Structure 1
Amino acid sequence: MSKTTDKARKPDWLRIKLTTDGNYAEIKDMMRSKTLHSVCEEARCPNIYECWANRTATFMILGDICTRACRFCAVKTGLPTELDLQEPERVAEAAEQMGLRHCVVTSVARDDLKDGGASIFAETIRAIRRRLPLCSVEVLIPDFMGNWEALQIVMDANPDILNHNIETVERLSDRVRAKAKYNRSIELLKQAKAMKPNIPTKSSIMLGVGEEWDEIIKAMEDLRAVDCNILTLGQYLQPTPNHLEVERYVHPDEFKQLKEEGLRRGFSHVESGPMVRSSYHAHEQVQSAAASQV
């Protein structure tokens, strides 16, 4: 894997389709009116136009200020505000208004809270189910600093998919992430599966931060060793000049090869491409995950 000779120049395959139709505007207004945050906006996701136009969004709970400062992430960092106990119900109302069939809920890291926000995750799952019994719920959680009692709170709420991202290969983890540890992330996925064997687990790796091919394959094997079911692979894009630089742009053909490698190793679903993010096409992954559990 060689570095790109011109890091500032994005290749043609990274062009973003801008779609700001009625659905996009409606969802944006709804987020504002209910004082909700979405990782789509806060993390500057390149798929926001496509997803919002298709009435799909990933809700970000526990505020919009993260206690960590990962070098790849555009979410604000600092001292979080007070806990909003009404947030789960507002998320559920928004999900109902959108008529979602699959809802993704993530959060900032809240290391200031004893349970890392696990109880709010659990109540959000339950609130969505009360309003939308047929809607599947996926949660993308932080590592809770290795607090498995907090993880148990989330698992007891029975999400349809438990998602936790390792983000990068083991060698680069300490440089790319803040506080989070590669082995602790792997252990979280292992613990989640031990607590609820029938709940599919999911993780994500972003490419282009200096990883080697063999390291990606090793990360896949580490995930499969703890029975992780779903993998997403996407291109890292530098959100601001103050963040981690892009080491190279990975060609779509390489993403296809990595998808084949992942499926060969037993993942039930691998979403792999330059514009793929953890929640991209998440609704399509539910069926693959469910089929693998039969």
Structure 2
Amino acid sequence: MPVVLDLLHNDRRPRHPEKAHRPDSAVQRKPDWIRVKAPGSPAYAETRAIVREHGLVTVCEEAGCPNIGECWEKRHATFMILGDTCTRACAFCNVRTGLPEGLDADEPEKVADAVAKLGLHHVVVTSVDRDDLDDGGAEHFARTIRAIRAQSPGTTIEVLTPDFLRKAGALETVVEARPDVFNHNLETVPAKYLTVRPGARYFHSVRLLQRAKELDPTLFTKSGIMVGLGEERNEVVQLMDDLRSAEVDFLTIGQYLQPTKKHHPVMRFVPPDEFKGYETTAYAKGFLLVSATPLTRSSHHAGEDFSRLKAARLARLAPA
């Protein structure tokens, strides 16, 4: 029997005191199709050492990503900037919530150093929500993009940003720094926002993605959702239409996994054939690229996916 990773994250500290009021819900046993090998290869250890050496935070660890072993073995890490403490308390998320500390002014350079040392051809930079900052952390994103460009000019850059709710000019600041991919996840269908993503606004997030494309039509845009939170298929299909109306290029769909008993329960484990059905539907609606599997995550295979995105755009633009 192969060793498997139990996906009930190896937390290094107490988390989520703000979720104490939520009723416990049993964490269901996961089906075989979403069980993965435990990390532990030499390349995984080397990646972890570089992350630690630079004092950086990764969403791979903080969100307890099931793909960390596979990605870190390939020396691919997704960096989480603006600290490790989020100002929101989404019911699905395993990142710590609370009052964040001040920004680390050296963090952009630290990320750039780590990217260069890892030799990344494509890097994903994400962050916690920072509603406490006037610009939501947009300038910090821009500085990080510029620092990576300076040290690794051949590296393509994907940002996975917060929604910058009520932060005038924040999106413009990020887009002006010229990332290659702008990603913002809707996370779930609009009917589930009140219980799953209460601090966000569905149509604001859709408009953010649309506005990013308006600001830079050459930019690839991307969004992702989780299924298994109680959504209906017709709601997911409508969400696809909303994203296509915003000209989003790339859609990811993955299975929600409950981090702890204080988080939103898994209402259903969606079987692989239904993910395949979502993929077929999404391609029919015009997305350039779709990744829909139980273990799909926003940053999983991001480098390979970027190459596929570019090829898909060129194919679509080619004369018949």
Q: Note whether the superposition's TM-score is higher than 0.5.
A: yes
Question: Contact 2:229 / 2:268 at 8 angstroms: preserved in 1?
Answer: yes
Aligned match of 2:32 in 4, 7, 12? Answer: 12
Where in structure 1 are there 5+ consecutive unaligned residues?
1-5
Aligned to 1:186: 206
Aligned match of 1:144 in 157, 160, 164? Answer: 164
Question: Contact 2:224 / 2:253 at 8 angstroms: preserved in 1?
Answer: yes
Structure 1, residues 232-273: CA drift from partner, whole Å, max 9, x if none?
A: 000000001000000000001111111111111111110110
Aligned match of 2:255 in 211, 235, 243? Answer: 235
Correspondence list, 1:1-294, <5 A: 8-294=28-314
Write the letter of the residue equivalent to 1:90. Answer: K
How many residues align structurally?
Answer: 289
| Secondary structure, counterpart of 1:138 in structure 2 | strand
TM-score normalized by the length of structure 1? 0.96
| Secondary structure, counterpart of 2:103 in structure 1 | coil
Shift of 1:178: 3.2
Write the letter of the residue equivalent to 1:52. Answer: W
Distance 1:207 1:230 in 2: 17
Higher mean displacement: 264-273 or 139-148: 139-148
| Secondary structure, counterpart of 1:204 in structure 2 | strand
Distance 2:170 2:311 in 1: 28
TM-score normalized by the length of structure 2? 0.88
| Secondary structure, counterpart of 1:71 in structure 2 | coil
User: Does the C-alpha gap of structure 1 residues 72 and 196 become closer, same or farther in structure 2, counting only changes over 3 Å?
Assistant: same
Question: Contact 2:44 / 2:72 at 8 angstroms: preserved in 1?
Answer: yes
Where in structure 2 are there 5+ consecutive unaligned residues?
1-25, 315-320
| Secondary structure, counterpart of 2:252 in structure 1 | strand
Distance 2:285 2:166 in 1: 27
Distance 1:148 1:292 in 2: 33
Write the letter of the residue equivalent to 2:303. Answer: H
Write the letter of the residue equivalent to 1:78. Answer: G
Shift of 1:33: 1.4
Shift of 1:293: 4.0
| Secondary structure, counterpart of 2:290 in structure 1 | strand
Question: Contact 1:13 / 1:274 at 8 angstroms: preserved in 2?
Answer: yes
Distance 1:200 1:148 in 2: 22
Question: Contact 1:148 / 1:191 at 8 angstroms: preserved in 2?
Answer: no
Distance 1:284 1:217 in 2: 26
| Secondary structure, counterpart of 1:228 in structure 2 | coil
Structure 1, residues 21-42: CA drift from partner, whole Å, max 9, x if none?
A: 1111111111111110000000
Task: Extract structure 1 runs of 4+ deviating beyond 6 A.
Answer: none
Higher mean displacement: 232-241 or 138-147: 138-147
